[in-house]
Structure 1
Amino acid sequence: MRQQIGVIGAGAMGVGIAYVFAAAGCEVVLVEPEPARAERALGTVRTRAARAGEQGRLTPQQAGGLPGRVRTVRAAGELPEGMDLVVEAVPERPELKRRVLAEAEERRPAVLASNTSGLSIDDLAAPLRRPGGFLGLHFFNPVWSMPLVEIVRGARTTEETLKRARETAELIGKETVVVRDSPGFATSRLGVAIGLEAMRMLEDGVASAEDIDRAMELGYRHAMGPLRLTDLVGLDVRLDIARHLAETYGPRFAPPRILLDKVAAGELGRKTGRGFYDWG
């Protein structure tokens, strides 16, 4: 029997997560209350499947059948009961995440997860009745090409939940690292530190955004430079994480003026057409 996967939120991360599970043969239910956004998400799945077929990463039969394994509903309460996994991928606002996670838990999934890139798993678990079945599954954008899933274990996450999470990641061909619940986990803490320093270098006129990124790509074999990556993640997302980390670790994570100004101006990266780069 195919695994049943629920994904809450049809933004870039939610769509990517839905796609990789559908590509692995799972039945996916994507929760999105806005009909237009839901339709765009299904369009992205169709486009990505067709492209993967053209590139030979999926057979024509696989590419043709993939979109039919993704359907949308408008609320977490409409998810089927007893799904193998439900992943929350809504914006990084604790109150919103706690609310949708509590709604999803009522559907009694085997594993409930948050795709948060830095919020406390134990804090998000506070309203849950079964916190042992909850953990963080931090995917990376674009989900279909990034090989890592960071598994974040909360204080009450059970060994069985951790085992199932690892098996689920293996099902979609991902490598995993397991970290304990601490602000920024491992990847966001390191990634944000590099990204913020790159922004300060840009402010100081050390080099252009292109050359800063190219230095990290060629000198350290990063797949993508920190400023281009920030544009892909979203400057608003990076700002929220930086503020959260600054509260814990101090001024070394204080957001630079250039980041504050760009977010205030609505320059949030690729999703708005402009960030550190012009995506027009």
Structure 2
Amino acid sequence: MVRDRIERIGVVGAGTMGSGIAQVAATHGYDVVMRDIEREFVDSGFETIDASLGRLESRDAIADDPETIRDRIEGTTLIDDLSDCDLVVEAALEEMDVKKEVFADLERVCDEDVLLATNTSTLSITSIASDLEHPERVIGLHFMNPVPIMEGVEVVVGEKTTDAATELAHDLAEELEKTTWEADDKPGFVTNRILMPWINEGIRAFDEGVATKEDIDAGMELGTNVPMGPLTLADHIGLDVCLHASETLHEELGDRYKPAYLLKRKVEAGDLGKKTDKGFYEYE
């Protein structure tokens, strides 16, 4: 069984996704504990939240003032500070060993009826939960980036995830004013299983001289009504993130998911997109 009442939410990881999840939860009135392994990462997460709340306030897009929302979030480096949370969302590095270690720690400190969710975009929910005593309360809650702006949340059901856990995950996302869809625990789920080959094919088309990067993006935006073309979107996601997701899918599903050569070359050069001010495009 999992709790049917959520008041306090824990978030593991204060990076782009973790800080975004913490911000959205606090914006909707939840008390939040945001934990990362170093204080500098926690502080950086708060800086991201402050900047995001400032932009939203300037557009009259939040009901409460930023300070009120910010005060609902507690930062910590201690996993034990998550012990009184009703639900915890893990948003740590996209590496299986890291996630398994986090969930082992969460199982140690959290009560048996606390829902444990992972924000993974490609890794198996069943594998993440496989070493736990209570894998039935582990579920995927895959928020889209940027979390405060994007409407969708992908709910991913592991082999042993209960119906009660699945229902609670959908309910929480809807409380956060998100729209959910549900996926079985197959590689890449719905979003990245389809998105990563699309991005890689856009990169290949550019590398093979089919068109300029601007025209590839324009062709996809104007021809298919998507808000961003594949090269722009890759820069926004992070080319390293795209490469890691593609490599995971390639390992699981074969050559149709092989990462584009130019994607690997860009990552090796350290041009990761917006976060380094240069990817397929340059940013100030």
- TM-score normalised to structure 2 length: 0.94
Alpha-carbon distance in structure 2 between the residues aligned to 1:96 and 1:49: 30
Aligned to 2:60: 56
2:80 maps to amino acid: G
Return 10-19 or 70-79, whichever deviates more: 70-79
For residue 69 of structure 2, the aligned residue among 66, 71, 85 is 66
Alpha-carbon distance in structure 2 between the residues aligned to 1:76 and 1:231: 32
For residue 107 of structure 2, the aligned residue among 105, 111, 114 is 105
Verify: 1:209 aligned to 2:213, yes or no. Answer: yes
Aligned to 1:160: 164
Alpha-carbon distance in structure 1 between the residues aligned to 2:120 and 2:239: 16
Alpha-carbon distance in structure 1 between the residues aligned to 2:208 and 2:164: 49
Three-state SS of the structure 2 residue aligned to 1:57 is: coil
Q: Is the 8 A contact 1:269 1:276 kept in 2?
A: yes
Deviations 1:145-186 (A, max 9, x none): 111100000010001001100110011000001110000111
Instruction: Report runs of 4+ in structure 1 exceeding 6 Å deviation.
Output: none
Unaligned ranges ≥5, structure 1: none
Q: Identity of counterpart residues, as a percentage?
A: 39
Aligned to 2:89: 87
Aligned to 1:233: 237
Alpha-carbon distance in structure 2 between the residues aligned to 1:78 and 1:26: 16
Unaligned ranges ≥5, structure 2: none
Return 28-37 or 117-126, whichever deviates more: 28-37
- Give 1:208 shift: 1.9
- Give 1:64 shift: 3.2
Deviations 1:166-218 (A, max 9, x none): 11001100000111000011100100010010010010111222221222222
For residue 132 of structure 1, the aligned residue among 124, 131, 136 is 136
Q: Is the 8 A contact 2:250 2:258 kept in 1?
A: yes
Return 47-56 or 15-24, whichever deviates more: 47-56
Aligned to 1:224: 228
Alpha-carbon distance in structure 2 between the residues aligned to 1:279 and 1:101: 37
Q: Is the 8 A contact 2:143 2:153 kept in 1?
A: yes
Three-state SS of the structure 1 residue aligned to 2:171 is: helix
- Give 1:62 shift: 3.7
Alpha-carbon distance in structure 2 between the residues aligned to 1:210 and 1:176: 32
- Give 1:2 shift: 6.9
Alpha-carbon distance in structure 2 between the residues aligned to 1:77 and 1:264: 37
Alpha-carbon distance in structure 1 between the residues aligned to 2:283 and 2:242: 18
Alpha-carbon distance in structure 2 between the residues aligned to 1:27 and 1:210: 43
- Give 1:76 shift: 2.1
Q: Is the 8 A contact 2:107 2:132 kept in 1?
A: yes
Aligned to 1:253: 257
Alpha-carbon distance in structure 1 between the residues aligned to 2:78 and 2:235: 29
1:78 maps to amino acid: D
Aligned to 1:11: 15
Three-state SS of the structure 1 residue aligned to 2:100 is: helix
Instruction: Classify 1:2/1:242 alpha carbon distance in 2 versus 1 (closer, same or farther; 3 Å).
Output: closer
Alpha-carbon distance in structure 2 between the residues aligned to 1:14 and 1:207: 37
Q: Is the 8 A contact 2:33 2:81 kept in 1?
A: no
Q: Give the CA RMSD over aligned residues.
A: 1.5
Alpha-carbon distance in structure 2 between the residues aligned to 1:92 and 1:268: 16
Aligned to 1:27: 31
Q: Is the 8 A contact 1:148 1:174 kept in 2?
A: yes
Deviations 1:48-70 (A, max 9, x none): 222222211123x4433101011
Verify: 1:244 aligned to 2:248, yes or no. Answer: yes
Alpha-carbon distance in structure 2 between the residues aligned to 1:218 and 1:16: 29
For residue 124 of structure 2, the aligned residue among 108, 120, 123 is 120
Return 71-80 or 160-169, whichever deviates more: 71-80
Aligned to 1:76: 79
Q: Is the 8 A contact 1:2 1:27 kept in 2?
A: no
Q: Is the 8 A contact 1:114 1:136 kept in 2?
A: yes
Q: Is the 8 A contact 1:73 1:79 kept in 2?
A: no
Alpha-carbon distance in structure 2 between the residues aligned to 1:246 and 1:266: 22
Alpha-carbon distance in structure 2 between the residues aligned to 1:55 and 1:2: 29
